[in-house]
Structure 1
Amino acid sequence: MTSQQRPTGRRGPSMQWSRLKSAPSDPLEAYGLPSKGETRLNDFRAQESYYNKIVERYMKFCAGAGGADKLAQQFEALHLASEAAAPAAGPTAQKTLSARSIANRNSSIELEMVLSAMRKLREAIVASHRVDRFAQRAYIFIIHASILSRAWESYLPALLYLLQNIHENTPMTTSEFNEFAGLHILDVACRQGDLATAFRKKSKVEYGYHDPTGRVDSLLKALVMDDWVTFWRLSKRVEGYQKRIMEFKEEDIRIHALKCMGRSYFTADRSFIEKCTGRSWEELVKKNGVGWELQEDGEKVVIRVPKTKR
């Protein structure tokens, strides 16, 4: 066999292809968005398998957070991800990027991937017109997870589809319906700021919502009356999902309380101000720019000085 006939040239392309072969993709990225033309997730078995992967990944994420407080920080980091991912102003700023910031950014990327997978599953269930028990269970999980991460663009469409489509064909229990109807009412009142619609949703005309705890009713009344004392008290008593939605309204309540105190008081106890605003004095100074003077004893705050009489 001559040198021209030797099959040595066949090894080169084979080795090149093996080097170019991509690594196994993330299971959550195996599908595209159904709204972008993906059809493989229309298969019911594929949906159920994908759902199990999402649940497993989400539970692993929660378990790896290291406790409820740290998990809450991971959820909060999702909203700070864009700032943490932005390039620093210069070499010095680059060096100041802490390990904690990097960890938060990585956690945010993982959570965003899980939320993206939830969206794909949600769109696939809608595209396949699925309204059975699986669809109900999957949507309940998606709503709960999305609320904890405050991803309203994920939980609101899921909440509406559960109440308006799935429930009509596969009814939830009374307690389940009241839970999710209550969450929608809270979203309308707190995040959207539409109290009239919130009261209409609560009425017999729409949901005929019954609140066994009375907390949603009390919250709506507190918002109508600008009653921040009741608002903060309720925020400590409601369950986690309700509290997470109420957080959308916290800053409005806080600013209103600060304005009222600024017009009504010359001095006030630090503890009273913290109670009325739901935030520590240090946070009020740092995050809200409160410029009132804290006395040396650390207990009294001078809000404004009376004008001297001429």
Structure 2
Amino acid sequence: MQRKGGRAPAGHLSRLKPVEHDPLAEYGLPSKGEKRLLSPKVQEAYYAKITERYLAFCTAAGDRDELQRQFARLAITDQRNPKPSSASDDFSNQVYLFSIRLGILASSYETYYPSLLYLLRRQPPNPRSRRPGTSPAPPSLPPPQQSQSQPQPHTPHLTTAPQPRAVPLTTVEQADLAAYLILDTACRRGDLAGAYAQRAAHGLRDRHVDAVLRALAADNWAAWRRARRQADLYRATLMEGAERRVRAHALRAIGRAYLTVGVRWVEGQLGMAWDGLREGFGVGWEVEEGGAADGEEEGGKVVVRRVKGK
């Protein structure tokens, strides 16, 4: 029943559900005139809300494997890469680090790769990266002074605003970022030579990274799996970029070395179910169903190659 004039009773308005408000969607883009995010306090509050949701997301996942599956299902559809600000402080470092690690877990190189390069390029050079036997570059000589009798060219008086100095990362943070970059280069980009060059340029001494590079250089699936088990969540996610290549090489090695193998043995060695191997890698080996009779393991055996009679 409506009142005179077409207005609904006041009780009708009270039964409306409150509008759900997302504090992260409240702000627009600075390029569109949004000014509130230029305030350092607002930036810190915004970042705190993001980390709060991130921790809740990780807690809800439960274990490491489920967390990786949850991140694998994420899809970033709106990629915005604003130009990095010239201001550098501890807070901005932490924001960049958070963006890098979250982008790695989401397998979004568009997110983590630019920030990774930006943070590493603004760090002071590592003295260990200089080749032995070389000396630092000599200081440049000052320009020659003109004599007082020569007329001095008129130059306008230019002043530049002082640039804020970059706050360096900790040694651990810098080593982690260098390791991420090397693993990304070797695994996702498939550039093993470039990864070794970056290792030398950053002076990185990391036994796990060395083990990954050695496994890739030798196409050693067993060493690769060992390094994968020893990796933390970020490094393990970066290593996924080369997982298929190394597993495919292991399949080819089995095909050259065996005539018949057990289905369960193949699954255990390659860390994948037989159906996944057939669908994902086009494995056409014949499977003979059977139990544990004649010494064969349960689940049947795979006939890799048949010996042709003379």
What is the DSSP-based 3-state SS (H/G/I as helix, E as strand, rest coil) of the residue aligned with 1:306? coil
What is the DSSP-based 3-state SS (H/G/I as helix, E as strand, rest coil) of the residue aligned with 2:122? helix
Q: How does 1:225-240 map to 2 (within 5 A)?
A: 225-240=218-233
- State the match for 2:243 in structure 1: 250
- Within the alignment, does 1:135 sit opposite 2:132 as a pair? no
**What CA deviation, in whole Å up to 9, does each residue of 1:141-187 have, x standing for no partner?**
22222211212111111211222236782222222211110011000
Shift in CA distance, 123/250, structure 1 to aligned 2, threshold 3 Å? same
What amino acid is aligned across from residue 207 of structure 1 in structure 2?
A: H
2:87–2:166 CA contact under 8 A, matched in 1:
no
Which of 250, 259, 266 is residue 252 of structure 2 equivalent to? 259
2:123–2:168 CA contact under 8 A, matched in 1:
yes
Shift in CA distance, 36/242, structure 1 to aligned 2, threshold 3 Å? farther
What is the DSSP-based 3-state SS (H/G/I as helix, E as strand, rest coil) of the residue aligned with 2:261? strand
- State the match for 1:193 in structure 2: 190
- State the match for 1:26 in structure 2: 22
What amino acid is aligned across from residue 60 of structure 2 in structure 1?
A: G
Q: How does 1:281-292 map to 2 (within 5 A)?
A: 281-292=274-285
Which of 60, 74, 77 is residue 73 of structure 2 equivalent to? 77
- State the match for 2:287 in structure 1: 294
Measure, in 2, the Cα distance between the counterparts of 1:273 and 1:35.
55
- State the match for 1:68 in structure 2: 64
Matched residues, number: 257
Which of 209, 217, 224 is residue 224 of structure 1 equivalent to? 217
Measure, in 2, the Cα distance between the counterparts of 1:10 and 1:164.
66
Between 250-259 and 180-189, report the one with greater CA deviation.
250-259
Shift in CA distance, 289/38, structure 1 to aligned 2, threshold 3 Å? farther
Percent identity, aligned pairs only, is 41
**What CA deviation, in whole Å up to 9, does each residue of 1:17-53 have, x standing for no partner?**
xxxxx94552222233456665542332221111011
The structure where helix makes up a greater share of residues is: 1
Shift in CA distance, 68/228, structure 1 to aligned 2, threshold 3 Å? closer
What is the DSSP-based 3-state SS (H/G/I as helix, E as strand, rest coil) of the residue aligned with 1:31? coil
- Within the alignment, does 1:46 sit opposite 2:42 as a pair? yes
- State the match for 2:134 in structure 1: none
- Within the alignment, does 1:274 sit opposite 2:267 as a pair? yes
Which of 162, 173, 180 is residue 177 of structure 2 equivalent to? 180
- Structure 1: gaps of 5 or more residues: 1-7, 13-21, 80-111
1:35–1:123 CA contact under 8 A, matched in 2:
no
1:136–1:166 CA contact under 8 A, matched in 2:
no
- Structure 2: gaps of 5 or more residues: 9-17, 125-164, 292-298
What amino acid is aligned across from residue 251 of structure 1 in structure 2?
A: R
Measure, in 2, the Cα distance between the counterparts of 1:41 and 1:62.
26
* TM-score (norm. length: structure 1): 0.71
Which of 202, 207, 225 is residue 207 of structure 1 equivalent to? 202
Root-mean-square deviation (Å): 3.3
What amino acid is aligned across from residue 267 of structure 1 in structure 2?
A: T
Shift in CA distance, 35/197, structure 1 to aligned 2, threshold 3 Å? farther
Measure, in 2, the Cα distance between the counterparts of 1:200 and 1:67.
35
Which is higher, the Rg of structure 1 or of structure 2?
Answer: 2
Measure, in 1, the Cα distance between the counterparts of 2:190 and 2:37.
36
